[in-house]
Amino acid sequence: MARMKAIEAAVLILEREGVGVAFGVPGAAINPLYAALRARGSIRHILARHVEGASHMADGYARAKAGNIGVCIGTSGPAGTDMITGLYAAAADSIPILCITGQAPRAKLHKEDFQAVDIESIARPVAKWSVTVREPALVPGVFQNAFHLMRSGRPGPVLIDLPIDVQMAEIEFDVEAYESLPPYRPAATRRQAERALALLNAAERPLIVAGGGVIGADAADLLVRFAELTGVPVVPTLMGWGAIPDDHPLMAGMVGLQTSHRYANASFLESDFVFGIGNRWANRHTGSVEVYTRGRRFIHVDIEPTQIGRVFGPDLGIVSDARAALARFLEVAEEMRGRGALRDWSAWAEACRHRKNVMLRKTHFDSVPLKPQRVYEEMNAVFDRETCYVSTIGLSQIAGAQFLHVYRPRHWINCGQAGPLGWTLPAALGVRAADPARKIVALSGDYDFQFLIEELAVGAQHKLPYLHVVVNNSYLGLIRQAQRGFGMDFEVSLAFENINAAADGDAVAGYGVDHVAVAEGLGCKAIRVKSPNEFKAAFAEAERLMAAHQVPVVLEFICERVTNIAMGAEVDSVNEFEEILCLDPTLSLRRSQDLGAPATAAG
C-alpha cells in the first residue's frame, strides 16, 4: 500500500489494463493527469490538433486490433463536448474507447465556473457509462469498472470526468493488489445450437449474414470454418466485411441499399433462410422489413439481448458472444456431418458463385475528368491482400465498398452507423499508432477530408505514415444524389474559383480547395492525378514518399463532378446509374429509368 495522488493511481491502472497509447490535448483542468503520464513515461501520448480528432484516433486504434482500448484525453468544458461525436461513433459500432476529461473543482460545479459543464449528463446517451468522480478514493474503482464495462457484453465507450481537486487529492493505493475484473460474455448453449442447426438444416437456400460482432469477437476463423463445414454462402455486412476473404468460394457479397453488390442482392432475393451472427439488421442493409423478410426464416445471434427482436422478430434468437456461439454451432454441425445428417447445399452455393462471377458493375472508364469507378479499379490493381482500408461515409465510401476487395478481418475499418464526416483521417492515424507495419489506405471524398484536415499535422509530427486517397468531385456527392428526389441541387457544391489556382500550374480551375497545397502546408506530401495514364506513376511515387519521409501522403484524384453511384430504397430495386455488365444473358436484370447506356461485356 502506498500513498499517492488519485490521478497517479489512475495512470498505474491504465498501465495494468494494457493501455500503451493515448490521444489528446492538454489543458488546465487535466494537467495533473499529464503530469502523471510524464512522470511514468510508460504510455505514448499523441497530441491531436482537435479534441474530436483525438476521440476518432482512439476509435481507430481500438478497431485496429482485437483487445485494444483507445484512450482520449481532454480538459474541461469544450474538450468534453468536442468528444461527444467520438463517443457516439464508438457507441454506435460497439467500440471500446475511454474518454477522460478534466473538470472544475467540486465546489465550483454548481457555480457556472469557467469551462465547467455537466459532461456526465451530456455524454450519458452516447456512452456505456458516464461518470463524474466526486470522491478521490473512488478513482481506482471507477477506472477498474470502466474497463470491465467496456469489455463486457456489447463493447462500448466510457467517459470518466475528473474534477481537478479529485485528481490532486492523495489516496492509499496498492497497485500490486490490483486485478482486472473479468468481462461478462453470454454464451450459446448446446440446446440452442442444436435448435439453430435444425432450423438451418430445414432450409433449401440459406445464407449466413456475418456482422461486426464476428470481427469484434475475433471469430472470423470460426465463421469461415462453419461456412466451409456446412457449405452455406456468407453475406458480410459492411461492419463484418473481411470476416471471410472476398475471393473465398463461399463469400456471396454484400447485401443492401448502398454498400452492396448486384450479385449479392440477387442471391439474397433467391434465399429462403438467413442465419444472422453478430449483426444488427441495420436499415441500409435491410431496406424495409417487409421486403427483406418476405419468404424467409431467420436466426439472430447477438451478444446484446435488446438487439434480438429490435428490428423484427426472428424465428430463433440467441443471446451470445459470436465466438462462443460459432464454437457451439461447429460442434453440432460436425456431429451432424459425421452421421450424414447435414444437408448438401453445394448446388445453391454454386448458383451464388455464378451470380458473383457474372453480375458485375463496370469500372473501366478512360474519360477525363476521371470516373470514380476507374479509381477503385486501379486501387484493386495496385494494393495487395494485406491492405487495410479506412473510411467513413459518402459516395466515396459507398463506391469503395462496391468495388474494392477486403481479405482479412479489421482490414476494412469503417464508421458504419454514425458516419461522421472527418472521421477517416484521425481514425487512420489511430490505426497506424496501433500497428506500425500495416499497409493503410484511407479513403475520403473531398468534404470528409476537409472536416478534420488539420490532423494531417499530427501524422507529420508523430511520424504516422499512411496513404490517403481523396476522390475529389468538389461536391457533397451523396447529399447531391439524395437531393435528386427533391428536384434540386442546393448548397451542396464546394466549387469556387480559387484565386491562387493561376499560380499553380497543377491546380484545377473551379474545384476550389487546393488539397495538395494544404497537405504540404501541414507537413505532409501530396500528389494530384487528373488522367488515367498518371495512375501507375502516382501510386509508385506515393509509396516512395511515404517510405522516404514517414509522413501521410495524400493522393488526390480529380473526378467528374457528377457521378451517381448505384443505390436504391429496397434490396429488390437498386438503381444502376452507369453501364452494367451481365456475362450471362439468362439472368434477368432490373433496368432503372436512370440507367444510361445498355449493358455491355466491354470493360
Condensed to tens digits (0 to 9), the pLDDT of residues 295-332 reads 999 999 999 999 999 999 999 999 999 999 999 999 99
Confidence check: pLDDT of 502 > 80:
no
Degrees (nearest 5) of the Cα angle 321, 326, 329? 130
Do 449 and 393 touch, CB atoms closer than 8 A?
no
Confidence check: pLDDT of 586 > 90:
no
Do 62 and 70 touch, CB atoms closer than 8 A?
yes
Predicted confidence band of residue 482 (pLDDT cuts 50, 70, 90): confident
CATH class of the domain comprising 190-358? alpha beta
Query: Which of the residue ranges 233-237, 477-481, 582-586 would you say has the lowest mean pLDDT?
Result: 582-586
Do 372 and 395 touch, CB atoms closer than 8 A?
yes
Confidence check: pLDDT of 58 > 60:
yes
Do 470 and 397 touch, CB atoms closer than 8 A?
no
Q: Which of 7, 12, 13, 25 is labelled catalytic?
A: 25
Q: Which CATH code fits 362-558?
A: 3.40.50.970
Confidence check: pLDDT of 593 > 50:
no
Q: Which of 122, 181, 479, 589 is labelled catalytic?
A: 479
Dihedral (CA of 30, 33, 37, 43) sign: negative
Predicted confidence band of residue 51 (pLDDT cuts 50, 70, 90): very high
587 in active site: no
- Tell me the pairing of strands 580-582 and 359-361: antiparallel
- Helix, strand, coil percent values for the chain (each to nearest 5): 40, 20, 40
Q: What are phi and psi of 449, to 5 degrees?
A: -65, -35
Predicted confidence band of residue 135 (pLDDT cuts 50, 70, 90): very high
**Structure confidence at residue 585 (pLDDT):** 66
Q: Which of 207, 250, 319, 421 is labelled catalytic?
A: 421
Q: Which part of the chain is CATH 3.40.50.1220? A: 190-358
The rounded mean pLDDT for the chain is 92
Residue scoring higher pLDDT (367 or 88): 88
404 in active site: no
Q: Which of 342, 476, 478, 516 is labelled catalytic?
A: 476
* DSSP class per residue in 514-577: -HHHHHHHTT-EEEEE-SGGGHHHHHHHHHHHHHHH-S-EEEEEEB-S--PPPEESSTT-EE--
**Structure confidence at residue 484 (pLDDT):** 87
159 in active site: no
Confidence check: pLDDT of 592 > 90:
no
Can you list the alpha helix ranges (DSSP code H) found in 416-534? Answer: 424-434, 446-451, 456-461, 477-483, 515-521
Instruction: List pLDDT tens digits, range 215-229.
Output: 999 999 999 999 999
**Structure confidence at residue 594 (pLDDT):** 34
Q: Which of 14, 51, 166, 513 is labelled catalytic?
A: 51
Q: Tell me the mean pLDDT in the region 71-100.
A: 96
Residue scoring higher pLDDT (486 or 131): 131
**What Cα–Cα distance (Å) separates residue 274 from each residue in 284, 314, 356?**
17, 10, 18
**Structure confidence at residue 591 (pLDDT):** 35
Q: Tell me the mean pLDDT in the region 1-23.
A: 95
Q: What are phi and psi of 72, to 5 degrees?
A: -125, 145
* Cα gap 299→18, rounded to integer Å: 36
Q: Tell me the mean pLDDT in the region 7-30.
A: 96
Q: Tell me the mean pLDDT in the region 48-64.
A: 97
**Structure confidence at residue 108 (pLDDT):** 82
Degrees (nearest 5) of the Cα angle 91, 93, 94? 65
**Structure confidence at residue 143 (pLDDT):** 98
Q: Tell me the mean pLDDT in the region 273-294.
A: 95
**Structure confidence at residue 53 (pLDDT):** 97
Q: Which CATH code fits 2-177?
A: 3.40.50.970
476 in active site: yes
421 in active site: yes
Q: Which part of the chain is CATH 3.40.50.970? A: 2-177, 362-558
